[in-house]
Structure 1
Amino acid sequence: MTVVWHCQAVNSSRTAGAVRQGSLRELNLAVVLRRIAAADPPPSRARIAADTGLTRATVSAVVDDLITGRLVTEADPAPRTGAGRPARVLLLARDGPAGLGLEINVDYLAAYVVDLAGDVRHHEVHRADLRPVSPADALARLVELAGRARAAAVREGLTLAGATLAVPGLVDARGLVRLAPNLGWREVDVPALLAAHPAVTEPVPGIPPLVVENEANLAALGELHARPDGPRSFLHVSGEVGIGAGIVLDGALFRGARGWSGEIGHIPVEPRGRPCRCGGRGCLETYAGQEAVLAAAGLAGADLPADTAARRLADLADAGDPPTLAALHAAGTALGVAVAGVVNLLDLDTVVLGGGYAPLARWLRPPVAAELTGRVLTAAWSPVTVRAAALGAASAAVGGAGSVVRRIITRPSGWLSRPT
């Protein structure tokens, strides 16, 4: 009995040591890769050792692993004056893993491929009114876009490591779309419908092959990472046929208790106002959504895609068209009323106008800002900044693709241990 116990103790000790060693390696891989991803200018091995406190030997071994795994490349720095030979610098690889961002919205489908450095390497947008289309047929069309995106990624020397799908509605943790009123979807099991289609991404430990997420949340994440020096707390409002919002607090997405936060389009701005597709009345999107603005500008029934509609409205507003200017002012006023309530509740200092609102920010910003000034309790001491999104209509799909590569940067050991 003693002998058996002694052998088990030795084996357990060895196992525990191996686990600790493996965990330490995972930690070092993540620390070094995150440092390379965040550095500006690109760091050398010696710089990383100095910044992280790791030994040069450890950093060198970790960097070699990252280079072998196609996560990092080493390059000569820009020429400089002065004595001594400059050290080589480390960059995120442009021929390694990439993320696939997919979006299904009322009047378009989109697919974006984003590499580890955050650069868009492929994108395709298919325009179509998807309201009369069944969820299964709409997702089948999306799979075709995803397949072409994978082929484009392969041509670029990239490997798709995962995909994130943006949907304009309430999405639970399992990817079930509980409600997407503008698409007419209720209780749509997106993962189950897509299970019948061949995968378009490589299996990577720790990275789900497909994540389904609310499009406004992904747009907010896209904005957060597109402006690394920007505010860490803000409200991102996406204006399409529907209106959604992503809430970022201290650099993290606020999802709410069930993951359904941000449905700003269904905040009532006129309690007894116009009927909404959600079943309520007076919702913001019935006054500031794309169709409402087009109708107020005299373009009802124009049936324009979101980006075309925004450009058309911008052109008319730029030309001084009175109905268009009045429509944009009314939409901005309604938007400002709803946003002011969110700002008062959460104490935010920045509002980002994204999606179809981004190209119209020049005309929407003044009435939104006026409502914030008049309605936000703290505006006299701390004015709220209102600005256009950096990514515009591409925010959700790019944010989705970016979420895949950020998971790799956070846990590179999963990518390095994938089947090859």
Structure 2
Amino acid sequence: MSAPPRTTHPGATGARLPDTQQGMRRRNLARVMHTVAAHGPLSRASVASRIGLTRAAVSTLVDELVRSELLEELGPERPGRVGRPGSALAVSARGPVGIGAEVGVDRLSVCAVDLRGDVRARAQRQVGNRGRAPGPVLTDLASLIREITQDAEREGLRPAGLAVAVPGLVARDSQTVVRAPNLDWHHTDIGPLLASDLPLTVDNEANFGALAELWLGDGAPDDFLHVSAEIGIGAALVVDGMLLRGSRGFAGELGHVPVRPDGPRCACGGRGCLERYAGEEAVLRAAGLPPGPDRVSLLVERAIAGDEGVLGALRDAGTAMGIALTGAVNLLDPRTIVLGGALSRLAPWLLPCLEGELGQRIAGPGCAVAVSRLGAEGPLLGAAHAVVRAVLDDPAGVA
């Protein structure tokens, strides 16, 4: 079983429920769900002790959650406890699942994650999406979503919602991709084109990658700057366990920070952007290697073999990333930088120059750099877990 989503506090990802009797009941249902998800299996008495409600109140809430297939009873608690054993409660392996999807430059991916955090179904299609109109891309994605939804339903699971990660700017509280330079999409409303019956959330892939790191990462702090580096390079800042989106939802466009203002033209319209020096295609180009279906594996293979062209390109990429990140660290003061995305596999060769630039340029006492174990999986898992978190935050909404 996968680790359950990391808990900040109930309601951290959703709207605050009203201060009414009904709102209080919904908040208490969420408190029970989060407690069992983070610490279960637990008896009703243990849940009551942890959240400060009476056993009778918790029992009523638990009965409702069991009927809705959000919790399940596993039988008597383990032996050795004093007194009459209670029935152990766990988050259900049936019931709702979160559907996550990702539109990449060269692939489409979809997965279903249950309330325990386990991936129950997954599909991926390698396809070149750069330059394709949004309609055909989203038609292909909808086909994969239907496939995964049907796989989940055959296991007795029901989709609770859909979250889609895209490599571009997404207007806050909307489903509109304002601009995705590496796809050449502009002002694209995902909802009508995807035509899904599920509740839909659309967000930047770096944001979902950062949320995955927060919920699933190995001891990630509550304050960190997550860098999602593949063909494009995005970033997301987490402060006190909350994602900082910016006033319009456009925060984190690290890949379009200029590191050499007189450098080559970028797809965004600027010059000398970080992506032109540290994105996958830029590193391949600098190393004299052709693009291919598994670019990062090729770079890793050549780097291990000591290919000087590849090693030089990775050193230059690390230097460029260090320069761009210096500005972010000096401005935002994150506790840690987490390197994610596909390029996290190249960390052994990127980090020496990246950390060297940070060490020379940061005005403060320094900033730790860590490598995500989620890698390229982060955005897709973050999208699916965002739906799961919404269920934990308001279980009454899916009952």
Deviating more after overlay: 84-93 vs 72-81: 72-81
CA contact under 8 A between 2:341 and 2:378: conserved in structure 1? yes
The Cα of 1:228 is off from its aligned counterpart by: 6.8
CA contact under 8 A between 1:216 and 1:236: conserved in structure 2? yes
> The residue matched to 2:345 in structure 1 has which SS?
helix
For 2:100, the equivalent position in structure 1 comes to 101
For 1:215, the equivalent position in structure 2 comes to 205
Please point out which of 345, 349, 353 is paired with 2:331: 345
Q: CA RMSD in A?
A: 1.7
For 2:151, the equivalent position in structure 1 comes to 152
CA contact under 8 A between 2:43 and 2:77: conserved in structure 1? no
Q: Where does 1:239-318 land on structure 2 (aligned, <5 Å)?
A: 239-299=229-289, 302-305=290-293, 308-318=294-304
> The residue matched to 2:215 in structure 1 has which SS?
helix
Query: Deviations for 1:113-149, whole angstroms, at most 9, x for unmatched residues?
Result: 1111222112212111111311100100100110111
Q: Structure 1 pair 77/368, CA: closer, same or farther in 2 (3 Å)?
A: farther
Q: AA paired with 2:335?
A: D
For 1:11, the equivalent position in structure 2 comes to none
For 1:334, the equivalent position in structure 2 comes to 320
CA contact under 8 A between 1:244 and 1:264: conserved in structure 2? yes
CA contact under 8 A between 2:77 and 2:87: conserved in structure 1? no
The Cα of 1:80 is off from its aligned counterpart by: 5.1
Q: Structure 1 pair 352/298, CA: closer, same or farther in 2 (3 Å)?
A: same
> The residue matched to 1:111 in structure 2 has which SS?
strand
Q: AA paired with 1:343?
A: V
Deviating beyond 4 angstroms after TM superposition, the runs of 4 or more aligned structure 1 residues are 76-86
Tell me whether 1:399 sits opposite 2:399 in the alignment: no
CA distance in structure 2 between the partners assigned to 1:50 and 1:336 by the alignment: 48
Q: AA paired with 1:191?
A: G
The Cα of 1:101 is off from its aligned counterpart by: 0.7
For 1:29, the equivalent position in structure 2 comes to 29
Q: Where does 1:30-109 land on structure 2 (aligned, <5 Å)?
A: 30-39=30-39, 42-76=41-75, 79=78, 81=80, 86-109=85-108
Please point out which of 217, 227, 234 is paired with 2:224: 234
CA distance in structure 2 between the partners assigned to 1:257 and 1:83 by the alignment: 54
Q: Structure 1 pair 30/295, CA: closer, same or farther in 2 (3 Å)?
A: same
The Cα of 1:86 is off from its aligned counterpart by: 4.4
Q: Structure 1 pair 83/54, CA: closer, same or farther in 2 (3 Å)?
A: closer
Q: AA paired with 2:105?
A: V
Deviating more after overlay: 113-122 vs 80-89: 80-89
CA contact under 8 A between 2:107 and 2:126: conserved in structure 1? yes
Q: AA paired with 2:176?
A: L
For 2:307, the equivalent position in structure 1 comes to 321
The Cα of 1:362 is off from its aligned counterpart by: 1.7
Q: AA paired with 1:102?
A: A
> The residue matched to 1:357 in structure 2 has which SS?
helix
> The residue matched to 2:110 in structure 1 has which SS?
strand
CA distance in structure 2 between the partners assigned to 1:368 and 1:86 by the alignment: 55
CA distance in structure 2 between the partners assigned to 1:92 and 1:327 by the alignment: 47
Aligned length: 380
The Cα of 1:156 is off from its aligned counterpart by: 2.3
For 2:160, the equivalent position in structure 1 comes to 161
> The residue matched to 1:246 in structure 2 has which SS?
strand
Query: Deviations for 1:76-107, whole angstroms, at most 9, x for unmatched residues?
Result: 47855576564332211111101111111111
- Consecutive unaligned residues in structure 1, runs of 5 or more: 1-18, 202-208
CA contact under 8 A between 1:93 and 1:116: conserved in structure 2? yes
Q: AA paired with 1:248?
A: V
Q: AA paired with 1:348?
A: P
Q: AA paired with 1:411?
A: D
CA contact under 8 A between 1:369 and 1:384: conserved in structure 2? no
CA contact under 8 A between 1:75 and 1:88: conserved in structure 2? yes
Using the size of structure 1 for normalisation, the TM-score is 0.87
Query: Deviations for 1:238-290, whole angstroms, at most 9, x for unmatched residues?
Result: 11111111111110110001000000000000010111111110000000011
Percentage of identical aligned residues: 46
CA distance in structure 2 between the partners assigned to 1:158 and 1:362 by the alignment: 41
CA contact under 8 A between 1:226 and 1:390: conserved in structure 2? no
> The residue matched to 2:398 in structure 1 has which SS?
helix
Q: Where does 1:363-402 land on structure 2 (aligned, <5 Å)?
A: 363-379=349-365, 383-402=366-385
CA contact under 8 A between 2:223 and 2:336: conserved in structure 1? yes
The Cα of 1:43 is off from its aligned counterpart by: 2.2
Using the size of structure 2 for normalisation, the TM-score is 0.91
Q: Structure 1 pair 179/20, CA: closer, same or farther in 2 (3 Å)?
A: closer
Tell me whether 1:360 sits opposite 2:359 in the alignment: no
Higher radius of gyration, 1 or 2:
1
Q: AA paired with 1:71?
A: L
Q: Structure 1 pair 233/29, CA: closer, same or farther in 2 (3 Å)?
A: same
Query: Deviations for 1:169-203, whole angstroms, at most 9, x for unmatched residues?
Result: 111132111110110111112112223xx53x3xx
Query: Deviations for 1:33-56, whole angstroms, at most 9, x for unmatched residues?
Result: 1211222x5322111111222111
CA distance in structure 2 between the partners assigned to 1:228 and 1:23 by the alignment: 34
CA distance in structure 2 between the partners assigned to 1:91 and 1:188 by the alignment: 41
Q: Structure 1 pair 213/287, CA: closer, same or farther in 2 (3 Å)?
A: same
CA contact under 8 A between 2:227 and 2:234: conserved in structure 1? yes
Q: AA paired with 1:107?
A: D
Deviating more after overlay: 243-252 vs 119-128: 119-128
For 1:190, the equivalent position in structure 2 comes to 190
For 2:135, the equivalent position in structure 1 comes to 136
